[in-house]
Structures are given as C-alpha cells and as structure tokens.
Amino acid sequence: MANLLTLRHFASAAVIFGVAVTLAGCNSFNLNGSQQPSLEPAVAPEIPSSIRPDELVGKWGLAAYHKPEDRVRTEAAAKGQCKQPYVIGRGQSGGVIMHLADEATPQELRIKGSQSGKSYIGPAGPAGGPQDREIVSFDGRVLTTQFLDPDAASRYGTMVYVRCAPRA
C-alpha cells in the first residue's frame, strides 16, 4: 500500500511538473505565473503635426497642376471654384473628413507629423503611408498637397486648395 501511495504521489508530482514546464515555455508566463513583457515591437507614438485639424476644416476652392510653372494659374482657378467648394469636415475622432485617392466617399483622415518635420493627411497609421498625401505647403489660406502613391500623384497632380472667404 505504501508503494502505491508513493507511486501516486510521484505521478501527481510528474503531472504538476509537466504543467509547470509547459507554462514556463509560453511567452506570456514564467514559472511563478507572472506576466512577462510582450516581445512584439512597440508601435511608435503618433507625432503631432504642426497643422491642427481645425485649421483645415471649412470650404475650399480646389484645382490641380502637373507642371510647377502652372502653380499661380492653378491657384487662381482654385479660388474660382469657391462657387462649388470642396468641404473639409471635422472628424469625430479628431481628424478631418476628406477623400482618399479614387474613393467616392469621404472618410475621416488623420493629420500626421513626422520626424523630418513634414506633415501628411491620410488614414490612421504611420506618417508617409502609401495612401497619404504630403502637405507640401500651408499658410492658412492656401493648402498644397501631393499624393505619395506615384500612380495617384501622376493622375491627380499637385492639389491646390484655396480657402473660400466666409460669407458675411
């Protein structure tokens, strides 16, 4: 009978030891059961842009050019589009409501800063993503952007938004 009890204790101890070894092999637990730090790469914190979303909300005349020498003419053409303005809305999560390239429905986009000091408009994610557009210049009255995707950039050109005067 004593050998049978010793054998049962040994078997129980072996099972407990096996479970402990299995748990120790997991990435999320160590032998004393506490959490270990995650081995996943940390997501870099969003770098704020020097341009705030509320600075872009409003009505804009919109035009585009492909040759730099057409910029002045395009800016005047954009101002003429204020009769049918492009509206940049305020997003519910702190972004702006605009169109992505080739998308018929506007959606909330983020204004993202970068370590280089450039600012981008695009979906959530790291700055400079394939659906982002770079803010080439912004003085409060004229916003100039260019899509980063080469295909979209070749089709849409450099986009010029001219703020429409508020109605009196």
* pLDDT on residue 17: 45
pLDDT tens column, 135-152:
999 999 999 999 999 999
Question: Mean pLDDT, the chain, as a whole number?
Answer: 82
Q: Which of 101, 117, 71 is nearest to 109 (CA)?
A: 101
CA distances to 90, 134, 135 from 122, rounded to whole Å, are 14, 9, 11
Q: Count the Cβ atoms, other than its own, within 10 Å of residue 110.
A: 20
Q: Which of 126, 125, 124 is nearest to 116 (CA)?
A: 126
Average pLDDT over residues 41-56: 78
* pLDDT on residue 48: 80
Task: Confirm if 92 and 159 have CB atoms less than 8 A apart.
Answer: no
pLDDT tens column, 84-138:
999 999 999 999 999 999 999 999 999 999 989 999 999 999 999 999 999 999 9
* pLDDT on residue 39: 53
When pLDDT is cut at 50, 70 and 90, the band that residue 35 belongs to is low
Average pLDDT over residues 14-43: 48
Stated pTM of the model: 0.72
Please tell me the distance from the alpha carbon of residue 8 to that of residue 101, in angstroms, as a whole number.
Answer: 70
- With pLDDT > 90 as the criterion, what percentage of the chain qualifies? 67
When pLDDT is cut at 50, 70 and 90, the band that residue 46 belongs to is confident
Please tell me the distance from the alpha carbon of residue 144 to that of residue 12, in angstroms, as a whole number.
Answer: 72
Does the structure show a pLDDT above 60 at 24? no
What is the DSSP secondary-structure string of 62-77? Answer: EEEESSGGGHHHHHHH
Average pLDDT over residues 4-32: 46
Place of tokens 């919109």: 62
